[in-house]
A = this chain, B = another copy of it.
Amino acid sequence: MNLRRLGEVGFLRALVRRHRALMPPSPAGPGDDAAVLGDLLLTADALVEGEHFLAGEPPFLLGRKALSVNLSDIAAMGGTPSAFLLCLGLPSAVPGKFLDGLLAGIASAAAEHRVAWIGGDTVRSKRGIVIAITAIGRKGRRLLTRSGARPGDGIYVTGPLGASAAGRALLARGWRVRSAARPGRWRTLSAARAAARLAPSVSSPRGRRVRDAKEIRYAAENLAAHLDPVPRLAAGLILSRRGLVSAAIDLSDGLSLDLHRLCEASGAGALIYKEAIPISHATRAVAARMGWDPLKLALNGGEDYELLFTSPRRSEKALLRWPLDDGTGPILIGRVTPRRRRLLLENARGKTRLLQAQGYDPFTVD
């Protein structure tokens, strides 16, 4: 097995094949967003310094994100999170301020989503900080899995895409958020309000002329999406209750790759309407100013943590009528097709091209 050649998808497939003998009789084993054990959902994720964050990032937001990305996996299965284990790998010299901010951030997200910290471990890790969290949730009325999409089903997302990737790119270009950023009592906010909260902590790269306050606000909106993603728990719960959903996954690695995973698990293909992919004004504005392609950010950027789900055609009206939560409704972006694993992107004139699964695979990038 060569990790770089196989990539994460191939690696996981090889793992699953090799160790099938160990698999429990469970409706969702490795390969889904969370594992199922009786009435519980379990999911584990690790954030590694230098890969998923830099030491200079605001620790409060990092703490929030570390927990939120795990809760997003519970959301994708339609569950309600209840508790988490925190496993910290820390260099001895980690600054007390950083630790304090990190823990305060974790506590803030835990309080917001009512999940209890029940245990874990701290170990030394000279080469950098590692934050590994295991989240535990209860199953919702129906389990949302990746494998139920059927040809003809609509393909939906719960919010705009590409903002997180734009935020990551801004950080790479020298934009910064003050590391002390700890925006008071923090609740699930609309993107615009989160941006307004974060804006005072945002600074542009040294020597770069900022046109106006709008530019900072747009940057802040994308930075907030990247540094403090919101797990779509309410949406997952509603979708699980309504029973209108045939398959679901959370968008952690980019629309094209996660759609590929969903289609593969379902033995189906997909046709995506290019113009229907939701991209926020702030993301378009930043992309235009920086010379980036907003569509590429939305398709391949990753870390959106919106839900991607499919729903039978008969449920379309019901789905689009009711807002999921916070007033935002699901957005129809395409249809499931019978052609296994074949993803197509269709433009407004009806021309299609192949949609490569190019999302963020940690092992095949650079």
Which A residues contact B (CB, under 8 angstroms)?
A: 1-4, 8, 11-12, 15, 18-19, 21-24, 26, 29-30, 32, 34-37, 40, 42-52, 82-83, 85-87, 89-90, 92-94, 96, 99-100, 103, 107, 110-111, 116-128, 130, 132, 134, 136, 362-363
Name the B residues within 8 Å of A23 (CB-CB). Answer: 116-117
The residue from B50, B92, B111, B121 contacting A127, defined by CB atoms under 8 A apart: B50
Q: In the complex, are the beta carbons of B103 and A37 less than 8 A apart?
A: no
A90 to B94, CA, bound (A): 22
Q: Nearest chain-B residue to A126 (Cβ)?
A: B50
Q: Which residue of B lies closest to A42 (CB)?
A: B85
State whether A48 touches B362 (Cβ < 8 A): no
Known contacts: A118-B35, A119-B34. The answer to whether A134 contacts B89 by CB under 8 A is no
Which residues of B have CB within 8 Å of A12? 122
Pick the residue among B3, B100, B121 that contacts A99 (CB under 8 A): B3
Q: Contact check, A99 vs B8: say whether CB atoms are below 8 A apart.
A: no
Choose from B99, B116, B126, B128 the contact partner of A22 (Cβ within 8 Å).
B116
Tell me which of B22, B46, B120 contacts A123 (CB under 8 A).
Answer: B46
Copies in the complex: 2
What is the CB-to-nearest-CB distance from A110 to chain B, in angstroms, rounded to a whole number? 5
A120, chain B: closest CB distance, angstroms:
5
User: Are B1's CB and A96's CB within 8 A?
Assistant: yes
Structural contact, A119 and B30, CB atoms closer than 8 A: yes
Q: Are A125 and B19 in contact, with the CB atoms below 8 A?
A: no
Asked whether, in the complex, the Cβ of A46 is within 8 Å of the Cβ of B1, the reply is no
One of B44, B122, B128 near A11 (C-beta < 8 A): B122
Docked-complex contact B130 and A92, CB < 8 angstroms: no
Pick the contact of A362 from B43, B46, B123 — CB < 8 Å?
Answer: B123
Q: Whole-angstrom distance between the alpha carbons of A49 and B124 in the complex?
A: 10
Q: In the bound complex, do residue B51 and residue A126 qualify as a contact, i.e. CB atoms below 8 Å apart?
A: yes
Instruction: Rank and list the top 7 A-B pairs by shortest CB-CB distance, nearest first.
Output: A35-B119, A124-B362, A24-B116, A35-B118, A132-B132, A127-B127, A134-B134
Question: For the complex, what is the distance from the CA of A238 to the CA of B32, rounded to whole Å?
Answer: 36
Determine whether the beta carbon of A119 is less than 8 Å from that of B29. Answer: yes
